[in-house]
Structure 1
């Protein structure tokens, strides 16, 4: 099977029509669609191989353990076909992007060296990562994100533990548990905090998503084959252990996610995998000044139009950064973004019938994503699981009580003020892990709901990846020839 070309032109010396940021489902779809329509494309990604988190794989992987692998093969083949116009730049960790005269310069680190990629337009397809809720013991070694456990398995063939508890909310828990069981781990149970039966409120939308229903049924059959219990309205509320995880306490929850009295029980395990949906990676749209909004699942996402254009001319956004909805939706949005970005830069008109079909697919897939968000909401009762000394920001060791103190006693009324008073979000991850929880706790202590500005306060980062200060100091601003941005 052909692979993406990995011999890039010197980024600083080439003006690309489009820089696609991220090589997951959305980015691959955008890059191949744009290159097929004559655009010169740079495809940047921090990973050594294309595919993103969804198609994370080892070298020479045959795809047997991966969902939608034939789709990935088709995209990879298309990238190879158009390799003369598609520069794949693996191992490029993007830390900043800015507008300059005539377009954009994307700053990245590659093997410790600074690289700058010049382009007329950009397509942001940076994906998402696991959203975490703190609970007592969640900082113990042996507690992983659900995505982290899956990444170890798919990317390295490593099973995170022997006796594993999978918990949280959302359909993503099913493939995680099924993959672990097929790899030989003993999965003690999948503990779903929500009520998946809520999807019945959207019968037409759900029935149209036959592929998704079949996928879910496949994972449930795998759980039954391995005799893995699946418990709804139940989750992990405490991890036990001193130096590492030795057990997990699970409890039944009411409709608001408060623990029902007398339902706690302990399970002996060495690993806990938890995930409560996903947090879109929006640092780059925020750096560029794109308008944002709070999506149905509570995430901060970029606003886009029917062409996947953001509110900033020349900037397109596709995939989870404009709303979490899964790989199929990301591919649809990526192709739309690629087609329209190519038209804006090269004048190559996309087939209107193809565009119309993609718009119908996007509407249907966004409808199913909205139904999932409604069926798997994060209930407010999780805040009652916390003890005063439960860490919320693990980087800076900021406790739940410290956040309460900042709001109640020091007068901090928003997450940015709490950050200044108590330091949550000031560690290495810069709020990626604790941002959602900090915003939710701050709003609750202030007696109000979480707002877009609350989320923005811990999501806006002028430097998107850890980078040596020397690179920030020495990184040159690019210069580009002027061009007409009309239509971009």
Structure 2
């Protein structure tokens, strides 16, 4: 179905977290018409997650609704974007699905002159024996439970993994009434001292870290650095975890294991930029200091595909303030490309550079060491969806000649489940790579699972609204 340029919006933004909201608000102020698509029911992303309706909480953050309520911004919640394509007229067509199992999945098509990706990031999981037990949740998942439903994952919660998110999660859980026996951090915080320039670039971040540490002290939470949870124990639910000291490469040190009783474990090893949609479009990526891949952007935050910009965690995990700055910068760049007056902001560029410098240092400090596979016996499930063990992955590499995660997937089905490798992908890739450094993400035809019925209905999908 051809689309007239007069039917198109100026800008389609995918993702309504801080970066997407900042971009939408800026673009609207500059006079652009915006369609903001997001998979979540309400804006804000993971970091500004809303409490569930009906809970007695404080008023919502008004900044989250500023872009949503602007008359030039059309907000489409619960819309899962699975692909986008540029037509002969130069317009982008964004394909999404909406609806649920109750009333069926419905295709939606939005056209726009420019496309901005603010797709965020997801948690990185490094498996260990017992990580599939009930009561073991992601660190971000534990925070989401608390923010959305005011629910604790348990009464005695060990927080483990690596990255600054652990301190925030532990202090939030403790403030909400959970007993947190320990925060188990695989990295060593003294490594920050090797990067004084980056630390000085963002003193506010240091103050946030100090505040979280002070909160842990008030709640008598132990901080165990250069250590990891290498096993979880229990029958119907996690009852204890094994904590082991790590060497410089994250290899478990013999004779250092000890048990900590708990009824929940919140564990996460940092965040992985969400680049699935961008790579379907052919956008190039760059390797970050922790071995993940983020989108490669120019000074105006445009990707290597002309007409596609990106902002926030998909360009590299750097936190909320960097995402807000990048959303504004990208929207200004889009406006200039579309012929609207939009002044450059050198101060905003400098702020973004400072925040990115600190984020790069943080990423390097908490990068997983190659020795983490030393806590992964062959019998441990790596892909939970398809019940693929570490032993099967290793056998595919050792005996069948697999040299990349895609080949391992074909040989073992690891990553073929509903999550499409978002949970196990990093672990499988690191087990497969000879040096423990995963290869760049492959280009896929679809960014999220989509039904054959949705594909069949494409020709009948109205532009910008749900089909009747």
Q: Could you tell me which residue of structure 1 aligns to residue 357 of structure 2?
A: 367
Distance 1:449 1:239, change over 3 A: closer
Superposition RMSD in Å: 2.1
User: What is the CA–CA distance in structure 2 between the aligned matches of 1:441 and 1:386, rounded to whole Å?
Assistant: 10
Structure 1 residues without counterparts, runs of 5 or longer: 1-11, 481-488
Deviations 1:58-91 (A, max 9, x none): 25889879xxx9xx534533553xx221111111
SS at match of 2:238: coil
- Which of 318, 322, 328 is the matching residue for 2:321? 328
**TM-score (normalised: structure 2):** 0.92
SS at match of 2:43: coil
1:463 equivalent in alignment to 2:463:
no
SS at match of 1:162: coil
- Which of 56, 68, 73 is the matching residue for 2:62? 73
Deviations 1:196-248 (A, max 9, x none): 12111121321231211111111111111111111111110001112321111
SS at match of 1:456: coil
SS at match of 1:186: coil
Q: Could you tell me which residue of structure 1 aligns to residue 341 of structure 2?
A: 349
Q: Could you tell me which residue of structure 1 aligns to residue 177 of structure 2?
A: 184
**TM-score (normalised: structure 1):** 0.89
What is the CA-CA distance between 1:455 and the residue it aligns to?
Answer: 3.7
Show the 5 A alignment for 1:74-223. Answer: 74=63, 76-77=65-66, 79-80=68-69, 83-101=70-88, 102-111=90-99, 112-223=105-216
What is the aligned length? 452
User: What is the CA–CA distance in structure 2 between the aligned matches of 1:476 and 1:308, rounded to whole Å?
Assistant: 33
Distance 1:276 1:477, change over 3 A: farther
Q: Are 1:100 and 1:478, in contact at CA under 8 Å, matched by a contact in 2?
A: no
Q: Could you tell me which residue of structure 1 aligns to residue 373 of structure 2?
A: 383
Q: Could you tell me which residue of structure 1 aligns to residue 219 of structure 2?
A: 226
Q: Are 1:29 and 1:75, in contact at CA under 8 Å, matched by a contact in 2?
A: no
Q: Are 2:332 and 2:343, in contact at CA under 8 Å, matched by a contact in 1?
A: no
What is the CA-CA distance between 1:479 and the residue it aligns to?
Answer: 10
- Which of 387, 391, 399 is the matching residue for 1:409? 399
Structure 2 residues without counterparts, runs of 5 or longer: 100-104, 464-468
User: What is the CA–CA distance in structure 2 between the aligned matches of 1:461 and 1:244, rounded to whole Å?
Assistant: 37
User: What is the CA–CA distance in structure 1 between the aligned matches of 2:385 and 2:306, rounded to whole Å?
Assistant: 36
**Residues 102-111 or 375-384, more deviating:** 102-111
Q: Are 1:278 and 1:324, in contact at CA under 8 Å, matched by a contact in 2?
A: yes
User: What is the CA–CA distance in structure 2 between the aligned matches of 1:209 and 1:199, rounded to whole Å?
Assistant: 13
Q: Are 1:118 and 1:478, in contact at CA under 8 Å, matched by a contact in 2?
A: no
Deviations 1:20-72 (A, max 9, x none): 1000011011111111111100011111111000100125889879xxx9xx5
User: What is the CA–CA distance in structure 1 between the aligned matches of 2:342 and 2:335, rounded to whole Å?
Assistant: 9
User: What is the CA–CA distance in structure 1 between the aligned matches of 2:436 and 2:218, rounded to whole Å?
Assistant: 43
Deviations 1:426-484 (A, max 9, x none): 1111111111111111113xxx4525xx2414xx442222333211222238899xxxx
Q: Where in structure 1 do 4 or more consecutive aligned residues deviate above 4 Å?
A: 59-65, 477-480
Q: Are 1:29 and 1:334, in contact at CA under 8 Å, matched by a contact in 2?
A: yes
Q: Are 2:135 and 2:264, in contact at CA under 8 Å, matched by a contact in 1?
A: yes
Q: Are 1:256 and 1:379, in contact at CA under 8 Å, matched by a contact in 2?
A: yes
User: What is the CA–CA distance in structure 2 between the aligned matches of 1:202 and 1:145, rounded to whole Å?
Assistant: 29
